[in-house]
Amino acid sequence: MTGLATATGTGSELSVDLLIVGAGPTGLYGAYYAGFRGMSVAVADALPAVGGQIAALYPEKLIYDVAGFPAVRGQDLVDRLTEQAWRWNPTYLLGHGVTRLDDTGEGIVATTDAGARVTAGAVLICGGIGNFIPRELPVGSEYLDRGLRYFVPRLNELAGQDVVVVGGGDSALDWALSLEPIASSVTLVHRRKQFRAHERSVEQVHASAVRILTPYEVEKVSGEGAISEVVVANSDGDRVSLPAQSVVAALGFIADLGPIEQWGLELRRRRILVDRTMRTNRERVFAAGDISDYDGKVSLISIGFGEAALAVNHIAALLDPARSITPGHSSDA
């Protein structure tokens, strides 16, 4: 592929300078930045909407570590990133999981499970943690969608309820803190005395009205038709009966890279190894965000933005050697 800004094709056949795999925050920022650098862009994602894990799992949760926002709701961040990218008119292939990447010598042909073929000068993989499956609560699975849930996309659905949150990581404490102002009661249950969550979150939970039960595990979930009671127990045999209309099981996820594992990429810790330019071991294939790995990697949304920009600048020079890796100032555009 020669030159930049050369999107062509209709229907299931498309030709662009850059294909971004993954429409989460890193992918959306990559789409904006690639447009700023003069590239035509397509963004493919297996999910039916942009936003990745943020939009699917916690659109109403506040995020505190994005530069320039003291706090920003997940969906608001996705909306602003989409608006930012919109200026450059990227093509979105939503509901399209990329299954194959084939080299052409001058580019990459990507095939999706929805029957599309995208010819691109380069590919930037921003797939987050890949496919994610929640770890199941050992008891009470029969109450799924009848009080038991693994995600809380809309906090108001639990307003006025007695809620039991199970888990000790960041998600569990975030849900407990987010629900505490609107729920009738919130009880946080964790099987260990120590939490895995960020220290600040732990401090906030202890200072809140959230009831904390550690080290306890859920022993029984019951109710006629829907959940009405949760019994938790500790290793000493002490049991506590809790009224509950909702149980939020925030026990983490099992990540599955899916087709990515078949693309001939060098992997480490189920992530794609990249060099300091975000290149993978495959020609013309780059990776950024949570799915990428290198020595000293820190997984933060803000770092993913920087990785996407770094990759795009090197892709720009790859597609057109006359282009500088140094982008100049956006205010000059």
Give the distance, in angstroms, between the CA of residue 103 and the centroid of all CA atoms in the same chain: 28
For the chain, give the number of residues.
Answer: 333
Annotated ligand binding at 290? The verdict is yes
Same fold, 13-132+253-332 and 136-249: yes
Predicted TM-score of the model (pTM): 0.76
Annotated ligand binding at 201? The verdict is no
Please report, as a single letter, which amino acid is at residue 278: M
For residue 85, CA distances in Å to 14, 80, 109, 144, 264 come to 19, 9, 23, 37, 30
Annotated ligand binding at 45? The verdict is yes
Annotated ligand binding at 32? The verdict is no
CATH number for the domain formed by residue range(s) 13-132+253-332: 3.50.50.60
C-alpha 261/C-alpha 258 separation (Å) is 6
pLDDT digits (tens, 9 = 90+) for 143-199: 999 999 988 878 899 999 999 999 999 889 989 999 999 999 999 999 999 999 889
When the candidates are 3.40.1550.20, 3.30.70.2750, 3.50.50.60, 3.20.20.80, the CATH number that belongs to 136-249 is 3.50.50.60
> What angle do the packed helices 25-36 and 301-319 form, to 10 degrees?
40
pLDDT along the chain (333 residues), means of 10: 46 90 96 96 92 81 89 93 96 94 94 95 90 85 94 88 96 92 98 93 96 97 96 94 96 82 92 97 97 95 96 97 84 68
For the chain, which residues make up each domain, given as ranges?
A: 13-132+253-332, 136-249
The predicted pLDDT at position 254 comes to: 76
Annotated ligand binding at 53? The verdict is yes
Annotated ligand binding at 58? The verdict is yes
Residue 226 contacts by C-beta under 8 Å, 6 or more apart in sequence? 143, 146, 147, 245
Annotated ligand binding at 113? The verdict is no
The predicted pLDDT at position 333 comes to: 65
Annotated ligand binding at 26? The verdict is yes
The predicted pLDDT at position 2 comes to: 37
The predicted pLDDT at position 220 comes to: 96
Secondary structure of the chain in HEC code, one letter for each residue: CCCCCCCECCCCEEEEEEEEECCCHHHHHHHHHHHHCCCCEEEEECCCCCCHHHHHHCCCCEECCCCCCCCEEHHHHHHHHHHHHHCCCCEEEECCCEEEEEECCCCEEEEECCCCEEEEEEEEECCCCCEEEECCCCCCHHHECCCEECCCCCHHHHCCCEEEEECCCHHHHHHHHHHCCCCCEEEEECCCCCCCCCHHHHHHHHHCCCEEECCCEEEEEECCCCCCEEEEECCCCCEEEEECCEEEECCCEEEECHHHHHCCCCEECCEEECCCCCECCCCCEEECHHHEECCCCCCCHHHHHHHHHHHHHHHHHHHCCCCCCCCCCHHHC
